[in-house]
Structures are given as C-alpha cells and as structure tokens.
Structure 1
Amino acid sequence: MSNKNIAPFVKWAGGKRQLLERIVERMPQRYVNYFEPFIGGGAVLFGLQPKNALINDINESLINTYKVIANSPKQFIECVKEIDSKIGEDGKTYYYSLREHYNDKLMKDEFDIELAALFVFINKHCFNGLYRVNGKGLFNVPYNNSKRESIDEESIMVVSDYLKNVTIMSGDFEVACQGAGKGDFVFLDSPYAPLNPTSFESYTKEGFDIESHKRLAKVFDKLTDRGCYCMLTNHNTDFINSLYGNKGYKIDIVSVKRMINSDASKRTGEEVIICNY
C-alpha cells in the first residue's frame, strides 16, 4: 500500500495529478526499475512510490529542493517556517523582496537549504504555482495574494523518508536515461509542445525547443530497442503525433483541464499518452 501522505510539495505547471489514474491503468503490470527524467512536481512518482527509482530534471533549483528534503528535512522545515512567519500584513512587498533574494542566490549558484525553502515559499505564493524565468534565468512570476503556509510538516517528513532511497539527478534527460535497461519503466513527462507551433515558451533558461522534442523521440526509440517500457505524455498536437505516429506505438487521447490558462474557454484540452507496449 502506498503512503497517502507522500504527495507533491510544490504545484507544477503540467503536473500529472489529474491524469494519474489514467497513467496507472496503462502502466506495465511488472517492471524492474523506475526512471522519470522530467520529474517536475513528482505527482506520478509520489502516486506510485516505486522502490527502485531514478528522478531527474534540468531545473537545478527544483532538484536542489528534492535533495534538501531528502537529506535535511528538519532544517528545511525550520527554514520554511521562519520565512512563513515573517509575511506580515504587506504580503506583496515581502514576496517580491524574497523573490529578489531567491534570484540573487540563483545568480551566485547558492544551491542550499535556504534556496530550497525560498523555492517552496515562492511556489506557494506565486501566480498558479507557475515556474517561469526570463532570458537571464531569473524567476519573474507575480504574487498571488496568498498568506497560506508553504508546507505540511508531516508530509515533508514522510516524503523525505521515501526520497532517501531515490537516486536524484539534475541534467539532460538523455543522460538520466542512460542506465535504463530491459524491463525498466521510463515515464517521460517532457515540457509541453506548444499548441501554437510558432511559440515555444521556456520554463528554464535552457528551454526545450523543437530540436529537443525531436531528440526525445529518438531517445524513446532507443529505449524501445533496449526493451524498456516507455510512456510519454504531451499535448495532442500534429507535431507530437508526427514524432511518434506510424511507429507502432499506442497513442491514446485523453481530455484534460488546463487551469493555468487565463482564458476560461481554453481551460479544456487534449493530451496524448503514448506507450511502446
């Protein structure tokens, strides 16, 4: 039985909480090791809680937070609680001062406990939990007017216990997949391809462009040749279907709600769940 208290500690754009049930029902019944090269908020990892798992993301600040929670949960909790306690009446001014401090630490590559605490505070107090950076790699999402607590202490402690046995990497998705072999399950929840083919938005300063999606499709093929069970999710677009169609892969179309779109009429859409088995 999975521990229900093990849950994502951040809200993440494109997170798979709402698709979890449909992902689980399409998973292989048995697999050896679990790989998730685009971990994001970890909804699938925490939902499944596999024993032998490797997670990765290109976002160093996100991965720093996973590592801090795994290795220093009590210090992390203390740091977040101290930050939360000082929000006061003028939450907006406080949020922007902490966002500036967070960006200053990013520029100095100070990936430590304080940065992790700031990361979670900002995630819970920014608009829609959106992680967006400008061309310089600086976080620039506005305040959401919330004064809510940033963490659930009990959840952080059980998440920490679980993550202690997870391999945590930060870097390119292809490198994260290098150790995957026959019988392993690789869940690929890459950054979304744009609904509008002319616009690619980046959630890290490195971005994830058309060529990255093409390279990911080649990695999917290579993992298939190795005997890995692979599942990939993305928007249901002509571009994505052109990369994975006509290869014998199973492509299921599912309806989703997109809560981040400011236009309510565009908050429903379609995604694809692509499997090689």
Structure 2
Amino acid sequence: MKLPHPIPYQGSKRSLAEQILKFFPEKFDQLIEPFAGSAAITIASAYHLKDKNFVINDVNEPLIELWYTIINHPRSIIKAYSEIWQGQHGDEENYYYKIRDCFNQTKQPQHLLFLLAKCVKAAVRYNAQGHFNQSPDKRRLGRNPQLMQTDILRVSQLLKDKTQCYASDYQNILQVADTNTLIYMDPPYQGTGLNGGFNYAGNIENSSFLTALFKLNERNIPYILSYDGRTGNKVHGTALPDSLNLIKIEINAGRSSQATLLRRNETTFESVYLSPALTANVDFNKIANRSMYQTDLFF
C-alpha cells in the first residue's frame, strides 16, 4: 500500500524512505527527525516498524502546528482544508495570493496546508522578513480534499499517541537523544540561505552543524544524515570532513528531471551518511545483497 503523505515538500525523502529504512538498527526506542519537513522517514518508520516512538521537530512553527493538528485533530484540519480548497473556484490565482496573505498574517496551519498543496513544485520559500512568498502552480487546483482526507486520517492513525512535536532549534532536540535513540537528519541543502537565492523557514550555519555531529559521535548516538548528492559527474554540496568517520552511501534516485529537460541522460544519486555508532550494528553484506534500487556502498 502506498504510504500516506499529506504534506507535499520539495526535497522530501518519501521516494527513498524504504531504502533509507534498510540502514536502521534492529533495536532502538525512538526516532528523532530534527529537520522534519514532510516527516517522510517518520511516516515510513511508523508504517513498517509500528511500535516505535517518534519526535518531529522543525524550526518552522506553523509547520509543526500543522503536524500536531494532523496527528491529534485530523477531522478539524480536513474540514478547514476542504473549505479553503472549495473557495478557490473561478478565481484561483487571486484566491491563492489572498490565502498567502492570510497565512503571513495569522500563521494558521490550514492556510499553510493549502499553500503547500498548490505552490510551484511544493517548494517552500520565505523572504527575508519570514513571509511565505512562493507562487501558485497555475496548472492545478492543489490536492483534492478527498485524497487529502485519506492521507491525513492514515497518518493520524500511524502517529497518534506515539509522537511528540516540537518547533525548536535542532541543537536543542539533539540533546534529548541517548544511545537507544536513532536520529535521521535531512537539513536544508547548502546554498539555500540568505546568500543562496532563497530561504527556508530557518537556515543552519555549517560550522555549528559540524560541531553538533562531532558531539553526537562523542556521545555514541546513532544517526543517519542526508546531506548532499550528485547528478552525473556534478557534485552538489561541500564534502563532510573525514574526521567524522562517517560511511557514505549513494542511493540511486533515478533519472534527473532537470537533466532530461536539457536533453541529457543523467542519473541523480542522493548521499546518506551513517554515524560510527550506527555502522557498528549494520550488516553491510546483508544490505548490499538486497534488491535495493541500484544502491552503491562506499567505505
């Protein structure tokens, strides 16, 4: 059965989630996503592992309010989304901007859900003042309320009474982890900060992030990090320092849509990194022999 994903988010790992889950340890008590976004790995873990506890965190407070409502009060967000979606007919573009203005003033979760469902490429963008500024996709109305309802109810069923939601700096959330915790991190891509052309709701400072990784290693905390990748021979992002002692894994993410538009046949590989505390409990021979979609291991 297809996994539910009510929150569309550019860069979501939902298409790679089942491959990433193959690197999970057999035993752990809690999964933490400090940069939750679409919470794709949490949802996949809840679906396949079922009996775990979860922490969803994101510095984007309205996003976390949306997740809290989806998980704990699904009927209310379904009703609010349906009413907003129905109101756009006949004046779709102007209506979108009206809802965007309302969201920037009130930060209501139902407004954010509509914007995410209808904005260009599900790409979350904020200006320097912290206002959502992505444009609408004029070719579509956004996710149909009936389909949205199905996904919201299924996610609530998977995560209710198992999930804590926080809107905090990632470094605060990392402090609650212990050796029985697994952390999955998918931070904003490098180059998307104030000097990178666009913003997410929060952008991380690279040296502080690397320091946080070293501290996790010192505490023997297992973690998986999605950090960079490549398309063909073009590498995206700056390499992590060797002194972190991480194992890099390249997962075949399929043919690059951007390269296809430029009439180039290139494949995108997304990189994940496994911490020393995690790799001590991973059977790489067992993983490599599984029918993962063109996954390459680099030691």
- TM-score normalised to the size of structure 1? 0.84
Question: Partner of 1:162 in structure 2?
Answer: 158
Q: State the partner residue of 2:203.
A: 207
| Cα distance in 2, alignment partners of residues 187 and 219 from structure 1 | 14
Give the deviation of 1:239 after TM superposition.
5.6
Question: CA separation of 1:192/1:258 partners in 2, compared to 1, >3 Å: closer, same or farther?
Answer: farther
Match of 2:97 in 1: 96
Distance 1:199 1:163 in 2: 35
CA offsets 1:175-207 (integer angstroms, 9 cap, x no match): 011111113111111111139xx7364211x42
Q: Go from structure 1 to structure 2 and tell me whether the alpha carbon gap of 1:214 and 1:238 turns closer, same or farther (over 3 Å shift).
A: farther
Q: CA deviation at 1:271?
A: 2.6
Shift of 1:91: 0.9
AA matched with 2:111:
L
Q: Which of 133, 141, 155 is the equivalent residue of 1:147?
A: 141
- Corresponding position of 2:130: 137
Give, as a single letter, the amino acid of the residue that structure 1 aligns with 2:166.
Answer: M
Q: Distance in 2 between matches of 1:6 and 1:253?
A: 23
Pair 262,41 (structure 1): closer, same or farther in 2 beyond 3 Å: farther
Mapped to 2, the partners of 1:35 and 1:48 lie a distance apart of 11
Tell me, yes or no, if the aligned pair for 1:5 and 1:158 is still in contact at 8 Å: no
Spell out, residue by residue over 1:152-188, the C-alpha distance to the aligned partner (whole angstroms, 9 max, x if none).
2132123223332201100100101111111311111
Report which stretch shifted further, 70-79 or 150-159: 150-159
Q: For residues 12-34 of structure 1, give each alpha carbon's deviation from its aligned partner in whole angstroms, at most 9, with x where no partner exists.
A: 12110222232112222222211
| TM-score, length-scaled by structure 2 | 0.78
Tell me how far 1:258 sits from its aligned partner: 8.7
Flag structure 2 segments of 5+ consecutive residues without an equivalent: 230-234, 280-299
Bigger Cα displacement from structure 2, 63-72 vs 126-135? 63-72
Q: Aligned equivalents of 2:257 and 2:67: distance in 1?
A: 24
Are the equivalent residues in 1 in contact too, given 2:4–2:154 (CA < 8 A)? Answer: no
Higher relative contact order (CA 8 A, sep 6+): 1
Q: Contact 2:81/2:114 (CA < 8 Å) preserved in 1?
A: yes
Corresponding position of 1:23: 20
Amino acid at match of 1:57: D
> Structure 1 residue 263: deviation in Å?
8.4
Shift in alpha-carbon separation, 1:135–1:120, aligned structure 2, 3 A: same
Assess, with a 3 A threshold, how the Cα gap between structure 1 residues 130 and 238 changes in structure 2: closer, same or farther.
Answer: closer
Q: Indicate if the aligned counterparts of 1:80 and 1:117 stay in contact, CA closer than 8 A.
A: yes
Give the Cα separation in 2 of the matches to 1:103 and 1:137: 8
How many pairs align?
260
Counterpart of 2:39 in structure 1 is 42
Tell whether the 8 Å contact from 1:7 to 1:43 is kept in structure 2 after alignment: no
Cα RMSD between the aligned structures?
2.7
| Distance in 2 separating the partners of 1:11 and 1:239 | 24
Q: Counterparts of 1:258 and 1:91 in 2: how far apart (Å)?
A: 33
**Partner SS, residue 54 of structure 1:** strand
1:227-266 correspondence to structure 2 within 5 Å = 227-236=220-229, 240-241=238-239, 243-256=240-253, 264-265=261-262
Which residue is equivalent to 1:226? 219
| Alignment partners' CA distance in 2, 1:93 and 1:259 | 33
Say which is worse superposed, 222-231 or 257-266, in terms of deviation. 257-266
In structure 2, C-alpha distance between the alignment counterparts of 1:87 and 1:260, rounded to whole Å: 30
1:59-92 per-position Cα deviation (integer Å, ceiling 9, x unaligned): 1111010111123221211111111111112211
State the 1:257 CA deviation. Answer: 5.4
Given that 2:128 and 2:199 are in contact with CA atoms closer than 8 Å, whether structure 1 keeps it comes out as no
Query: Does residue 66 of structure 2 align to residue 70 of structure 1?
Result: no
Q: Is the 8 A contact 1:54 1:168 kept in 2?
A: yes
SS state of the match for residue 152, structure 1?
helix
Q: Name the structure 1 match of 2:61.
A: 60
1: CA distance between counterparts of 2:209 and 2:154? 33
Higher mean alpha-carbon deviation, 123-132 vs 231-240, is at: 231-240
Q: Which runs of 5+ in 1 are unaligned?
A: 107-114
